[in-house]
Structure 1
């Protein structure tokens, strides 16, 4: 069973302004800079973040570490900082949009509706700067994935697998460390795994005979936060997550093939073992069944060539 870490009541040192969730930084027992982030009540954001991190480990992509946590009666997750002291995380909006977006705590500020967040720009950034932007620190290249672009292709496969619709322009980036640039490890996956759906909706999707209202149809509708090149057109929608992966696969076919092979090797028992480690008070049996089936549906779709 995944433990629920108790964060000391007086731990909060520095509030985090980015985003709309309650969060703060503190130093944990090992004196590491760690973020506590509260999941929105009535959602599965906390268990989704934890499960996603474990699935990322299973797939083999570099990722932030997350643990379930509790602080002053508030349920959340904790995650050690991805950057060391003196390093800097440069977000995607600075890299491909030429600007910094400031979060104002406004629910109407929707990062994932920024149409300037164009997929081809991200691909070209990593491809043209392959000799400057290295894979994430600590990542061991192999099996055809030896570039930042190749690893990023894995991130997009992962997003399509877990139905993560939140890879917006501040949920990926490059780390500047010691005069070098590295693709950041993947982070912030709590918007995946249909964590906002109610159990009533999950039951309907699991049992309905209406193909348009089925879990399969639902899985097909997951959209990324990356857009095609159509600046200023409010009618243009973000790519579906599986379509975005297919586009990235074309940019680095060898890497795409390798990530597909890894995904194909993951068994239902591997998935169930992770899901079943979430404490019972945090995740219902219906949510467990739904999540396992969603992941299997996405695997079956993604591994078809």
Structure 2
């Protein structure tokens, strides 16, 4: 027997501020009776051919968050939520009280002369936002607080896990504002990589359900996952974008063999039963969406283990 994940009504939670990073509207809310603050993000709703369609980023965020727990990937805690009649999710603040979060774009700008942020129009090749430069930017940082990794892991060792995780969940959105570091107020403690966050575009969340249904069976899923590219990282336009699996392979080649084995072991442990256990607990998720997510994750699991 299983229980659905709860949907939290956050309508009456106090608004702290509007989040300015990112294209979608998001709100920081104070949890009543707690010092915790959460980021509420409503699902994008579109009108397609005269009908209304919800993109259901809450599905991708919740399933990705639960898969991250299975893989011991440091990740923001995600809960399904509703605010003022809008469905979405809330993400627990990754920053300890008094600490400061700095997105990757700030680190890259400090590392490289004339760095062009990924959100700038015309920056199609994401120049400078390479795994090599990210490793340099993270050189003085440790792993996320309380991360379930060996105590000798550094920040990039964990970031390699994020890139591997992206390949599993088909997350093409690891741009320079979708990873960050956290810094303590006094400087007495070293800064750390923040947990992984913002998986809203993962697991095919931009596809309508009819499109998902059409991809099920035959070679539809295999062809779809192979088109998943790491376009948010620096790439040569003449050669095209690397696939997510190729990005994972490069990241894992940049860490020592013990780190590589650690993350591949976590990939190896994922089963279709694990995915199904998560998806059947999501209220309102159809069998088509559940099956699509399971097939995507398991197809990418095989690809990562074969290709990395």
Is TM more than 0.5 here?
Answer: yes
**What interval of TM-score do these two structures reach, taking the shorter chain for normalisation?**
0.7 to 0.9
Q: Secondary structure at the match of 1:15?
A: strand
Q: Which moves more between the two structures, 255-264 or 132-141?
A: 132-141
Q: Note if contact 2:172-2:202 (Cα within 8 Å) is conserved in structure 1.
A: yes
Is 1:168 the equivalent of 2:178?
no
Q: For residues 141 and 102 of structure 1, what CA distance do their matches in structure 2 show?
A: 30
Call closer, same or farther: CA 1:192–1:110 in 2, change over 3 Å.
farther
Call closer, same or farther: CA 1:275–1:140 in 2, change over 3 Å.
closer
Number of the residue aligned with 1:60: 72
Q: Note if contact 2:62-2:79 (Cα within 8 Å) is conserved in structure 1.
A: yes
Q: Select which of 265, 268, 271 maps to 1:264.
A: 268
**Structure 1 unmatched runs, 5+:** none
Number of the residue aligned with 1:153: 160
Q: Select which of 206, 214, 221 maps to 1:204.
A: 214
Q: How does 1:95-114 map to 2 (within 5 A)?
A: 95-98=107-110, 114=126
Is 1:139 the equivalent of 2:147?
yes
**Structure 2 unmatched runs, 5+:** 46-53
Q: Secondary structure at the match of 1:37?
A: strand
Q: Secondary structure at the match of 2:14?
A: coil
Number of the residue aligned with 1:23: 26
Number of the residue aligned with 1:11: 14
Q: Note if contact 1:120-1:229 (Cα within 8 Å) is conserved in structure 2.
A: no
Q: How does 1:258-297 map to 2 (within 5 A)?
A: 258-280=262-284, 283-297=285-299
Deviation at 1:86, TM superposition (A): 2.6
Deviation at 1:228, TM superposition (A): 3.9
Number of the residue aligned with 2:201: 191
Q: Secondary structure at the match of 1:185?
A: coil
Q: Deviations over 1:168-202 (max 9, x none)?
A: 00111211114121011111111100011112211
Q: For residues 145 and 39 of structure 1, what CA distance do their matches in structure 2 show?
A: 39
Call closer, same or farther: CA 1:264–1:256 in 2, change over 3 Å.
same
Q: For residues 4 and 37 of structure 1, what CA distance do their matches in structure 2 show?
A: 13
Deviation at 1:65, TM superposition (A): 0.5
Is 1:216 the equivalent of 2:222?
yes
Deviation at 1:226, TM superposition (A): 4.1
Call closer, same or farther: CA 1:5–1:24 in 2, change over 3 Å.
same
